[in-house]
């Protein structure tokens, strides 16, 4: 992991097309702005983890697929 120090108004650039700017710091909270192409999805980590868990659960449920296959065999 790369750790950087930035002040309000300063930014970092990732992969030539993503810019992360520090908008403000208050106590232990940092407000950031992210400028990225629309094709790039940006999620808070806890939301991303929930999406991944839901996708894993949906792909792991074979009962629906098996039921559909049995209907198609008839």
Sign of CA dihedral 5, 10, 16, 18: positive
Same domain, yes or no, for 2 and 31? yes
The number of C-alpha atoms within 13 Å of 47 and in the hemisphere containing its C-beta is 4
Residues 33 and 1 in one domain: yes
- The answer on 17 and 49 residing in a single domain is no
Give percent of the chain with pLDDT exceeding 90.
Answer: 69
Are 55 and 28 members of one domain?
no
* Average pLDDT of the residues in 23-50: 96
Whether residues 22 and 8 fall in one domain = yes
Confidence band for 50, pLDDT divided at 50, 70 and 90: very high
Q: Tell me the pLDDT of the chain averaged across its residues.
A: 89
Residue 61 has a pLDDT of 61
């Amino acid at each position: 992991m790369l750790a950087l120090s930035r002040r309000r108004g300063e930014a970092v650039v990732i992969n030539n097309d993503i810019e992360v700017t520090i908008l403000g710091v208050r106590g232990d909270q940092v407000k950031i702005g992210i400028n990225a192409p629309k094709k790039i999805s940006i999620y808070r980590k806890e939301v991303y983890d929930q999406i991944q868990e839901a996708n894993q659960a949906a792909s792991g449920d074979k009962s629906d697929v098996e039921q559909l296959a049995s209907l198609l065999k008839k």
